[in-house]
Amino acid sequence: MENSSFFTPVTLGRHTLKNRIMLPPLTRQRSSQPGNVANELMAEYYQQRAGAGLLVTEGTQIEPRGQGYAWTPGIHTAEQIAGWRKVTEAVHAKDGVIFAQLWHVGRVSHTALQPDGAAPVSASAIATDRVSVFIETGPGTGELVPPSAPRALSTAEVEELVQLYIQAARNAMEAGFDGVELHCANGYLVNQFISAHSNHRDDQYGGSLHNRLRFLREIVAGVAECIGKEKVGVRFAPLFTSTDEARTYLGLVEEDPHATYIEAIKVLENAGIAYLSIAEADWDNAPPMPEAFRRDVRATFSGAIIYAGRYTAQSGAQLLDSGMADLVAFGRPFIANPDLPARIANDWPLNPLNPATMYGGNAEGYVDYPLYSA
């Protein structure tokens, strides 16, 4: 497929990417403890995958309250910034382009992960169900548990959180990243403000859809002003089904997801940011993304559009050829195949994924997947 759409140039912000294959944010839980610090092993992992046109890091919490799973990295301390600098230098040594995904889980957390054992924070004091968080039970060991009941953020605290996102973006620039992706998907904090299911506020951040989008609007505007709009992307996960799988996926299914997310995408278009990344439902037998929604996304947003789902090289190329996407992200295949762009170009077979080593651990299942050899 070396002559396919995957290997035609594409512009993203100030970058001309070498291909249209993206490494999406993938939680791997390998940060150094204590401190949730990016390390040399993580630098090796991302450098191995620098053949992607764009790399986006795993979700990286912007503050201590933003953590929902043990051993995920942060970007709010000097030590964490220094750790991430090892990663960016390793990727840039291979001519890669890498963005940091800025993450706050909101209510998808547990008191064991929160400073001083406090309750997690959210748009409203509404608990989530059918999801789990991962807490440490001993050195290198942990367990999945239900999230703790959250408390509602005050109006002043919401305004402070906007500033924390801006500071995290500033920290990412100090660490050498080429840009940041704001994680506004999968039922985490920004999504909790957008959704009528999780946002029952009666201040300027709740009520109407316009108000529920205010937190998103202020974060996007503030980060774009701080580091430059050409260095900013946003990830959404619009879900168009209300099945149990959708709730387990952390998704919040709106009464009218099409209208909700087109309005949210207008926020991004008005800010002029570099890209929009859309995570599709990826469980077995998940419903396809509606074509009418894809068309309206393209008509609404003039930056680069990225889709992530259970794409193969063939289905991804078809999506690029349709004009609905500018890049396609591959998650599980990129975990198991660090040389995935070369494998796609040459139609080489793929390594199988070992699900047992996806989360936590050491080099096994992380940096030891082999490159292709005939």
Domain of 277: which CATH number?
3.20.20.70
The pLDDT value given to residue 281? 84
Strand pairing class (151-152; 179-183): unpaired
Quote the CA–CA distance of 35 and 64 in Å, as a whole number: 10
Q: Which string of DSSP letters, residue by residue, matches 289-301? A: PPHHHHHHHHHH-
How many folded domains does the chain comprise?
Answer: 1
**255 or 161, which is more confident:** 161
Q: Which residues are catalytic?
A: 188
Quote the CA–CA distance of 26 and 344 in Å, as a whole number: 20
* Residue 74 covered by a domain: yes
pLDDT digits (tens, 9 = 90+) for 131-143: 899 999 999 999 9
The stretch 304-322 carries a mean pLDDT of 96
pLDDT digits (tens, 9 = 90+) for 22-62: 999 999 999 999 999 999 999 999 999 999 999 999 999 99
Q: Which of 101-115, 121-135, 206-220 has the lowest average pLDDT?
A: 121-135
Count of C-beta atoms within a 10 Å radius of residue 160: 12
Quote the CA–CA distance of 24 and 6 in Å, as a whole number: 16
pLDDT of residue 237 exceeding 70, the answer is yes
* Residue 353 covered by a domain: yes
pLDDT of residue 284 exceeding 80, the answer is no
The stretch 101-121 carries a mean pLDDT of 98
Closest CA to 124 of 144, 150, 147, 102: 150
Quote the CA–CA distance of 144 and 160 in Å, as a whole number: 30
pLDDT of residue 249 exceeding 70, the answer is no
* Residue 364 covered by a domain: no
The stretch 106-133 carries a mean pLDDT of 95
Domain limits at 204?
5-357
Across the strands, what pairs with 145? 133
* Residue 365 covered by a domain: no
Which single residue is written with the structure tokens 């046109």? 53
The pLDDT value given to residue 130? 78
Q: Is the dihedral of CA 9, 10, 16, 18 positive or negative?
A: negative
Quote the CA–CA distance of 316 and 268 in Å, as a whole number: 24
Strand pairing class (54-61; 304-308): unpaired
The pLDDT value given to residue 274? 98
Quote the CA–CA distance of 275 and 278 in Å, as a whole number: 10
The pLDDT value given to residue 1? 67
pLDDT digits (tens, 9 = 90+) for 317-329: 999 999 999 999 9
* Residue 184 covered by a domain: yes
* Residue 374 covered by a domain: no
* Residue 363 covered by a domain: no
Strand pairing class (98-103; 10-12): unpaired
Which single residue is written with the structure tokens 């390998």? 30
pTM, two decimals, is 0.97
Provide the residue count of the chain.
Answer: 374
Strand pairing class (10-12; 15-17): antiparallel
* Residue 277 covered by a domain: yes
Quote the CA–CA distance of 70 and 24 in Å, as a whole number: 20
The stretch 242-258 carries a mean pLDDT of 69
The pLDDT value given to residue 245? 56
